[in-house]
Structure 1
Amino acid sequence: MVTTRGGIVPDIALVRANGIDVNVAVAGAGPAVLLLHGFPQTWRLWSEVIPQLAPRHRVIAPDLRGLGASTRAADGYDAGTLAADAEALLDALGEQTAAVVGIDAGTPPAFLLAMRRPERIRRLVVMESLLGTLPGAEDFLAGGAPWWFGFHSVPGLAETVLAGHEAEYVDWFLTTGTRGIPGEIRDEFVAAYAGSEALRCAFSIYREMPTSARQIREAVAAARLTVPTMAIGAHPVGSALERQLRPIADDLVAHLVEDCGHIIPLDRPQALASLLIPFLAGV
């Protein structure tokens, strides 16, 4: 049994979707909200947000393919396949429509799901990530992509170098610029990324970034983003994601969470909830 910091005990199960077993936490009742985490996290990223959404929504928080307790699949780490995983999970849980919220590596599949299946996505929230090579992030990328993108992208390298030092590496991502990660959640994140196979799955998302960027470009070339969308930035991505979305979105609002690190749901959960709750309600 896992209890969120708000005292809610979600139902946790393995659900078969798109050919894999997805570990998913489900809590609350009402219109569905699908929460997609990033690296190096699991569904527990949302532990302080779920209690604030569950009184109004059926909250669905999966571990992404290969991460946490979901199937460590051999392939399928491009954004398009991750979006297909998310849609199949909604099908398996009997949800015809949902709002979708993505952060970091969860943002590209959330975006593609809204682009490819707009009739199923009521609202889209994306945070602290870039959408492939779409224009608008030039200032953010002026000094080049973050160093770990290249490190993670070389097949077999990072997981070999990091063997035995996963905890120190994961801790760097969890603590650089982000405060207040509860110890039990930090421990779960570290355990989730221990071992070369866990790291291979995580780094496969980076290795598929060229494919994901192509998928995003193709989606934007074919259609506009019609789903009501909110872009949320903090540090370091800031407003770069908003600038990518502004030319292609019909209905976009954007916010910067001040004095906040990259992992917004754990750094400033109350500030995040104050943005999510009215937006998801259509206010």
Structure 2
Amino acid sequence: MTATTTTVPVPDGPDRVEVALRALTVDGVELNVATAGAGPAVLLLHGFPHTWRLWSRVIGELARRYRVIAPDLRGFGDSARPAGGYDAGTLAADAEGLLAALGETSAAVVGIDIGAPPAFLLAMRRPDLVRRLVLMESLLGTLPGAEDFLAGGPPWWFGFHAEPGLAESVLVGHEERYVEWFLDRGTLGRGVRDDDVRDRIVRTYTGTEALRGAFGPYRALAETGRQIAAALDRGRLTVPTLTIGAHPVGRALERQLGPYADDLTGHVIPDCGHIIPLDRPAALLALLGPHLTEKHEV
């Protein structure tokens, strides 16, 4: 493990919280990791097109009670961009290794979008490590329950991103416009309120290699689907789990997990876009609070 530390201010309503940024090498891959606060660990796994700064508007409140750990996934943000390892199983192993490198033996794990499948697989593999699980605005492979969401076919960008070499070859020079389309759509047109957060996210998606890394999970979707099915063939999801939907996924993930989870609670946040932590942080915190602080979690 190698580490360097700096501090950066992160907006959190009228206040600011200091976040330590460090580079940790996990299984040969250098990951950029933001940490804040002290207490039981809460691991936050972002999606596309995000970085750890997706959580900027909730880190401050969470850090009052928890040690918040928010990495850039491999291939994203300021983490390394290896040639492979973008399936959810490998991303879950990255998360497990990161917790070990930080000395954590128990964590609540929160995943959104493409961060949700690795969060799920980590909970399936290590229920002794994952004390609580939160999955947001995502689907889990081809499990039944998402038929309504997929009635018109999967989102168009899934195929575009999944074709090796294609998307990065046509998007170079237009990254800002492309990423901001997702940020605007994911907030129902309200946009990202903090210009610095938006600009820093866009910066890390600039260039062929940055785009190629970000599209890695889409190119591994088939393998991820097989991993999810295999995990559920071996057993049930026993970790207490909260699913949170918004627009457009809604309750699809809750329906997918229902037959396989021993302890599942589902919520949908009204008038909320896909990028829940930036669009409706107060509503998200109101749901996370009770789930993360259940008396039997420690």
Fold equivalence (TM over 0.5):
yes
Of the three residues 64, 70, 88, the one matched with 2:73 is 64
Cα distance in 1 for residues equivalent to 2:65 and 2:233: 36
Cα distance in 2 for residues equivalent to 1:33 and 1:111: 15
Kept in 1, the 8 Å contact 2:92–2:121? The answer is yes
Asked if 1:114 corresponds to 2:97, the answer is: no
TM, length-normalised to structure 2: 0.94
Cα distance in 1 for residues equivalent to 2:186 and 2:242: 23
Give the C-alpha shift of residue 212 in structure 1: 0.2
Of the three residues 139, 151, 158, the one matched with 2:167 is 158
State, as a whole percentage, how many aligned pairs show the same letter.
66
Equivalent residue letter for 2:227: Q
Structure 2 residue aligned with 1:79? 88
Asked if 1:2 corresponds to 2:8, the answer is: yes
Give the C-alpha shift of residue 17 in structure 1: 1.0
Cα distance in 2 for residues equivalent to 1:167 and 1:63: 19
Structure 1 residue aligned with 2:199? 187
TM, length-normalised to structure 1: 0.99
Give the C-alpha shift of residue 150 in structure 1: 0.4
Give the C-alpha shift of residue 158 in structure 1: 0.3
Give the C-alpha shift of residue 3 in structure 1: 1.1
SS in 2 for 1:134: coil
Asked if 1:273 corresponds to 2:285, the answer is: yes
How many pairs were matched up?
283
Cα distance in 2 for residues equivalent to 1:245 and 1:273: 22
Of the three residues 56, 62, 78, the one matched with 1:53 is 62
Structure 2 residue aligned with 1:30? 39
Give the C-alpha shift of residue 177 in structure 1: 4.4
Kept in 1, the 8 Å contact 2:51–2:201? The answer is yes
Cα pair distance change 1:10/1:194, threshold 3 Å: same
Equivalent residue letter for 1:211: E
Q: Deviations over 1:9-29 (max 9, x none)?
A: 111100111221110011101
Task: Give the unaligned 5+ runs of structure 1.
Answer: none
Task: Give the unaligned 5+ runs of structure 2.
Answer: 1-6
Of the three residues 207, 211, 217, the one matched with 2:219 is 207
Q: Deviations over 1:142-185 (max 9, x none)?
A: 11100000001110000001111011100110001402412111
Equivalent residue letter for 2:108: A
Equivalent residue letter for 1:132: G
SS in 2 for 1:5: strand
Of the three residues 253, 259, 262, the one matched with 2:265 is 253
Cα distance in 1 for residues equivalent to 2:288 and 2:135: 11
Larger mean Cα displacement after TM superposition, 253-262 or 1-10: 1-10
Cα distance in 1 for residues equivalent to 2:264 and 2:294: 13
Structure 1 residue aligned with 2:274? 262
Instruction: Indicate the RMSD between aligned Cα atoms, in angstroms.
Output: 0.8
Cα distance in 2 for residues equivalent to 1:277 and 1:29: 16
Asked if 1:91 corresponds to 2:100, the answer is: yes
Give the C-alpha shift of residue 128 in structure 1: 0.3
Cα distance in 2 for residues equivalent to 1:200 and 1:74: 9
Cα distance in 1 for residues equivalent to 2:172 and 2:63: 38
Cα distance in 1 for residues equivalent to 2:115 and 2:27: 17
SS in 1 for 2:256: helix
Asked if 1:101 corresponds to 2:113, the answer is: no
Cα distance in 2 for residues equivalent to 1:21 and 1:237: 32
Cα distance in 1 for residues equivalent to 2:186 and 2:289: 25
Give the C-alpha shift of residue 277 in structure 1: 1.3
Kept in 1, the 8 Å contact 2:42–2:107? The answer is yes
Of the three residues 191, 196, 213, the one matched with 2:208 is 196
Cα pair distance change 1:222/1:91, threshold 3 Å: same
Cα distance in 1 for residues equivalent to 2:128 and 2:70: 21
Equivalent residue letter for 2:11: R
Give the C-alpha shift of residue 281 in structure 1: 0.5
